[in-house]
């Protein structure tokens, strides 16, 4: 889809600015860049937003949902370019205009259907971009599972790409971090591959612990060094203890993804590391893994950003719902967690806010029976959905 920069005027909108909501507002863009914002009568005729919300396009830092389009059923791989285009359309109609596609950088023995295909998908994203097939602006987030034997080499092959914006340090070894309760990990793998027996899972878990012991420390050092050498921001993942927080600080982590406890999240936030939590967690009212609730983090003032993770529509739903669910947070503050804050966290200061000089990445949203519905999406001033 063409992303040539365009002129745009939207009028009669509830504009969600970074610090307030303007009723009866208007926004004008020239050449894909916002040039003026105001209230009341616009200086020239434009598109009537009908009193709907107009807010910045959402910015998503961590979604592995692309893999669900590429592998829609166990042992079924779809055409990678077609999968990317389908996924991109779903993200755009969810109000997301900038995405860090979280690509799994590891291969796992003993389990079918969870091997990473980061190189294949990264190339498909690049092909779709070059062919002008994408509605959203796509970047790459390398999700690196530390204990996997070849993860450093696989990451090294990808990190030099111009579109790589983030590398996350992940460790899903049974008995720690997100999966302190091993039963939760059993449930996860059965969801991925329902045919696995308890004996097979016992074997798998023992192997995961062995890999962590054998490769974990060296791979951790290698990935941190690799990110530093390329100037790529680092994210920690599922921080749980004071030791994890200290490790994140030593590594120079910029973003803490999905901390599992209030203690870890509070310490990370206090240290200046931006805390990212799950939008599905906030919408559902709790974590599916039994970890700290996003609402609790928001109420404590330690939630900086949200991610849709595995449900694209949850990002907008969470932002709209947050002011009603969490005292002291207004709509402008809630929307910052899905726009301005994540954009700035990965160095994309040209977007995420309705203000002169910012990209005209905008969405029009109405509320139907309590559910936000994306009615229009513009990227660089041009309508893409």
- pLDDT recorded at residue 109: 60
Query: Which of 342, 376, 382 shows the shortest CA–CA distance to 55?
Result: 376
Helices (H), 149-197: 151-158, 182-192
Give SS3 for 210. Answer: helix
pTM: 0.92
Spatial distance between the Cα atoms of 314 and 278, rounded to a whole number of angstroms: 9
Residues 6+ apart with CB under 8 A from 206: none
Angle between helices 80-93 and 118-130 (to 10 degrees): 70
Q: Topology of domain 1-56+353-385, per CATH? A: Urease, subunit C; domain 1 (2.30.40)
- pLDDT recorded at residue 197: 77
Query: Which of 160, 351, 342 shows the shortest CA–CA distance to 254?
Result: 342
pLDDT (tens digit, 0 to 9) for every residue of the chain, 385 residues total?
A: 555 678 999 999 999 999 999 999 999 999 999 999 999 988 888 999 999 999 999 999 999 899 889 988 877 889 999 999 999 999 999 999 999 999 999 776 655 554 568 999 999 999 999 999 999 999 999 999 999 999 999 999 999 999 999 999 999 887 676 666 666 666 666 655 556 777 877 787 888 888 888 999 999 999 999 999 999 999 999 999 999 999 999 999 999 999 999 999 999 999 999 999 999 999 999 887 678 999 999 999 999 999 999 899 999 999 999 999 999 999 999 999 999 999 999 999 999 999 999 999 999 999 998 899 999 999 999 999 9
Whether domain 58-350 has CATH 3.90.550.10: no
What are the Cα distances from residue 151, in Å, to 21, 65, 168, 223, 256? 45, 21, 12, 8, 20
- pLDDT recorded at residue 261: 95
Q: How many Å separate Cα 203 from the centre of its chain? A: 32
Domain parsing of the chain, residue ranges: 1-56+353-385, 58-350
């Amino acid at each position: 889809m063409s992303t040539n920069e365009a002129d745009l005027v939207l009028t009669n909108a509830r504009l969600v600015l970074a610090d307030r909501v303007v009723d009866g507002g208007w926004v004008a863009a020239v050449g894909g860049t916002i040039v003026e914002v105001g209230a009341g009568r616009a200086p020239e005729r434009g598109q009537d937003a009908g009193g709907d919300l107009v807010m910045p396009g959402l910015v998503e830092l961590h979604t592995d949902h692309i893999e669900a389009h590429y592998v829609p059923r166990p042992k079924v791989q779809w055409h990678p370019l077609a999968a990317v285009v389908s996924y991109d359309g779903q993200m755009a109609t969810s109000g997301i205009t900038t995405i860090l596609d979280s690509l799994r950088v590891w291969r796992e023995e003993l389990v079918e259907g969870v091997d990473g295909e980061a190189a294949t998908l990264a190339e498909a994203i690049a092909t779709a971009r070059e062919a002008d097939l994408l509605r959203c602006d796509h970047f790459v987030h390398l999700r690196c599972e530390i204990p996997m034997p070849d993860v450093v080499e696989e990451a090294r092959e990808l990190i030099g790409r111009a579109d790589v914006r983030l590398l996350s340090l992940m460790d899903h070894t049974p008995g720690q971090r997100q999966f302190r309760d091993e039963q939760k990990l059993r449930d996860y793998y059965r969801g991925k591959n329902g045919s696995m027996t308890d004996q097979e899972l016992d074997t798998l878990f023992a192997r995961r612990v062995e890999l962590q012991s054998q490769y974990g420390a060296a791979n951790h050092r290698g990935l941190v060094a690799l990110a530093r050498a390329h100037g790529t921001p680092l994210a920690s993942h599922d921080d749980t203890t004071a030791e994890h927080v200290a490790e994140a600080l030593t590594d120079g982590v910029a973003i803490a993804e999905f901390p599992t406890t209030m203690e870890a999240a509070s310490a990370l936030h206090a240290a200046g590391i931006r805390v990212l939590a799950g939008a599905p967690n906030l919408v559902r009212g709790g974590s599916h893994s039994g970890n700290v609730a996003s609402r609790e983090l928001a109420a404590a003032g330690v939630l900086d950003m949200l991610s849709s993770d595995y449900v694209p529509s949850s990002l907008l739903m969470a932002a709209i719902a947050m002011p009603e669910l969490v005292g002291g947070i207004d709509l402008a503050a809630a929307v910052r967690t899905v726009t301005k804050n994540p954009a700035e966290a990965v160095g994309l200061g040209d977007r995420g806010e309705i203000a002169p000089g910012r990209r005209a990445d905008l969405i029009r949203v109405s509320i139907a029976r309590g559910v936000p519905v994306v009615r229009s999406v513009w990227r660089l001033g041009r309508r893409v959905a």
